[in-house]
Structure 1
Amino acid sequence: MSNTALLVMDIQKGIVGRIAAPDYLPRLAQAVEAARNAGIPVLHVVVGFRSGHPEAADGNKMFGALPEGAFTPEDPDAAIHPDIAPRLDEVVITKKRVSAFAGSDLEMVLRAGGFTHLVLAGVATSGVVLSTCRQAADLDYRLTVLADGCADADEEVHRVLTEKVFPRQAEVTSVEEWTKAVG
């Protein structure tokens, strides 16, 4: 599994707080711990901007409308949730758009590390997971999506993506099945 990396995406306090399922973070923590125990690097992907949001154009419907100070270094809600906190030796990638690749150095880190298989988890299924899955597939990465390691405010959208869309480009499995396979 030395060519595999687990991408844990947008597990920031202000984003995870929108997910109602109380079992989501403990389940995701199991995946992170299983990866660490198996020697699979965990890469943490966060959305972040400079103060004043110079990277967010006014015309960008999602990011141009952010409140002043949101997802900046001063914003406590931009921090990675403590249940999934990165270890000192784990890479944190900061992105400027929805996809983990957009406005970040993710691809450089993946290529330098020789990673060819990405395991995806995060919030939201219809946001960062979908955008990253599509772009990673176009970049020829082998993909696994942890269906219950992803969450979305719209459960039907989550279901359609994990059952009908993602299987076209990725293996879709559960955290439990994946942890058994890597353990």
Structure 2
Amino acid sequence: MNAAAASEATALIIGDVQNGIVKSFGDDDGHVARVASAIEAAHLAGIQVIYVRVGFRAGYPDVSPRNRGFSAAAANNMLLADSDETQIDARIAPLEGDIVMTKRRISCFSGTDLDVVLRSRGITHLVLAGISTSGVILSTVREAADRDYALTVLSDGAKDNDEELHRVLVEKLFPRQADVITVADWVSAVEA
């Protein structure tokens, strides 16, 4: 994390680390444990933790048939906002003071009041982790950069089913708009 980013008001954003998505992607690589260590470090450092999960209303009035990914979820009766599959993984359960939002699209900003919450708290630097790198992380990086936030992506705090796509994003695309570091390096910087 660069010195300028370290001095800014920071929030750790955890995107889509929810039961159904963790189950779909698997966790044999220890991804959730790494995210948990980032959350623990954020709590100890007084950094705001914000969880953003994807979920839809009963009957899917918020899903367009033109949206390929989400219309498939609707057709299979998946990702209803009150279902167990949309709840945050219990291993990283929110604590008092953490913020939980439900989004209706891929980016953490789409269908939420995330920008209002961040600006109200004077937060200018976002640290991103979640599932998937090519989904919530990519969409949030692009939108957050357009909104002039300083960004850090936790390279191993993000996960994707396509390892090559993950590599290209964290090594080539994200560094154009964000600092990209490992969870361990971020935790060390926060603890320093």
Q: State the TM-score bracket (shorter-chain normalisation).
A: over 0.9
Match of 2:4 in 1: none
Alignment length, in residue pairs? 183
Structure 1, unaligned stretches of length 5 or more?
Answer: none
Counting only pairs closer than 5 Å after superposition, residues 83-94 of structure 1 correspond to structure 2 as: 83-94=91-102
> How far apart, CA to CA, are the structure 1 residues paired with 2:82 and 2:52?
18
Secondary structure of the corresponding residue to residue 68 of structure 2:
coil
Q: Which moved more, 1:111-120 or 1:19-28?
A: 19-28
Deviation of the 1:119 alpha carbon: 0.2
8 Å contact from structure 2 (residues 36, 92) kept in 1: yes
Runs of 4+ in 1 over 6 A off after TM superposition: none
Which of 113, 118, 125 is the aligned partner of 2:126?
Answer: 118
Cα shift at 1:21 = 4.2
Deviation track 1:37-68 (CA, whole Å, cap 9, x = no partner) reads 00001000000111111000112111122145
1:130 corresponds in structure 2 to 138
- Cα distance in 1 for partners of 2:8, 2:141 equals 20
> TM-score normalized by structure 2?
0.92
User: How far apart, CA to CA, are the structure 2 residues paired with 1:177 and 1:68?
Assistant: 40
Corresponding position of 1:54: 61
* Percent identity (aligned): 50
Q: Following TM superposition, by how much is the alpha carbon of 1:18 offset from its aligned partner in structure 2, in angstroms?
A: 2.5
Secondary structure of the equivalent of 1:64?
Answer: helix
Q: Which amino acid aligns with 1:36?
A: H
Q: Equivalent residue for 1:12?
A: 18
Instruction: Check whether the contact 2:54–2:81 (CA below 8 A) recurs between aligned residues.
Output: no
TM-score (norm 1): 0.96
> Alignment partner of 1:65: what SS?
helix
- Give, as a single letter, the amino acid of the residue that structure 2 aligns with 1:118: L
In the other structure, the counterpart of 2:51 is 44
Q: Can you give the 5+ residue segments of structure 2 that lack an aligned partner in the other structure? A: 1-6
Q: State the distance in 2 between where 1:162 and 1:169 align.
A: 11
TM-fit CA distance, 1:93: 1.4
Name the one with the larger helix percent.
2
Measure the CA separation in 1 of the matches of 2:117 and 2:82: 26
RMSD: 1.2
Equivalent of 1:174, from 159, 173, 182? 182
Give, in whole Å, the separation in 2 of the partners of 1:77 and 1:105: 22
Q: One-letter code of the match for 2:11?
A: A
Is 2:41 aligned against 1:30?
A: no
Secondary structure of the residue that 1:7 maps to in structure 2? strand
Q: Distance in 1 between matches of 2:84 and 2:8?
A: 34
